[in-house]
Structure 1
């Protein structure tokens, strides 16, 4: 029941954002349009931005499952673009609001998980510290998310498959090279030579 109520509030917010910017939406707008009382809204969410964050997380809980490998990362990344395009009005109103950080944080989180899955797969059989793998994933996530944000900013006109194809060409083999450089035994050799 609680999940159904939350989903109703989320879908109502998306409908309202077809016509109104996020910064102008009030809790009263949402509860009146959803026929759910205000007290129930606050039972589930502390504010509208909490609802926005819940919507992103819930909409994308299963979206990347099975798409975090070296062979499938392009499909996983395309799913992020597809989600943004399918929810264009919602995304644009969040992007151009005080809630933009929620969108950015969500994109960083989902992209980081995608990349870390690829890195973990490619690191199999190589001894690499977990913090080094995380560093590589963080480095690439900034570029990947930057592309999505630029695409949103420019009106989502360019075909995502083209962007992903270029990104694939640009980064092909780079994660393997980075893992090779961060191999624990290689780092030790470098440190010994510098010392």
Structure 2
């Protein structure tokens, strides 16, 4: 039931953002549209921005679905780009109305899990600390998020396949090399 309520709120928010700027949408607008009480909204979310964060994470989570290995991370990243593009009006509206810090937080949560999965896989059998693994994942997470934010800021006109291909070319062997460098440093 809780997930059904959240999904109804998500659909109403996305529907309203097609015709209204985020800063003009109220909780009453959302709850009226989907027929859910304000109390139910506040049971699940503290405010509209909390709902937006949940929507972004849910959409990306659905897009990633198991694409967190070295062999599949490019596909997972492409699916994140495609999910963002599929929700272009929603994302651009949110991008214009929320702080860059909030948008970065959303994207950091999405990309960290993807990259951390790759780091874990590539570090199997290598003596490297959890702290160093986290640092490597953070390092690449910031690169991914920076590129995605630039793409969003520029109106999402560049082809996501080309972006992911360039990222893949740039990163070819880089994660494994980073892990090896940390292991040799010890």
Q: Look up the match of 2:185.
A: 187
Q: Look up the match of 2:9.
A: 9
Q: Look up the match of 2:98.
A: 98
1:127 shift after superposition: 0.7
The farther-off stretch of 144-153 and 29-38 is 29-38
Larger radius of gyration: 1
Q: Look up the match of 1:134.
A: 134
Give the distance between the partners of 1:95 and 1:160, measured in 2 at CA.
18
Structure 1 stretches lacking a partner, 5+ long: 189-195
1:55 correspondence with 2:69 = no
- TM (norm. structure 1) is 0.89
Q: CA RMSD in A?
A: 1.5
CA contact (8 A) 2:67 2:114 kept: yes
Give the distance between the partners of 2:99 and 2:41, measured in 1 at CA.
18
The Cα offsets for residues 132-183 of structure 1, whole Å up to 9 and x where unpaired, read as 0110111111111111111111111111111111111111111111111100
* 1:144 counterpart SS class: helix
Structure 2 stretches lacking a partner, 5+ long: none
1:99 shift after superposition: 5.1
Instruction: Number of aligned residue pairs: give it.
Output: 186
- TM (norm. structure 2) is 0.93
1:37 shift after superposition: 2.4
1:91 shift after superposition: 0.7
CA contact (8 A) 2:108 2:141 kept: yes
* 1:125 counterpart SS class: coil
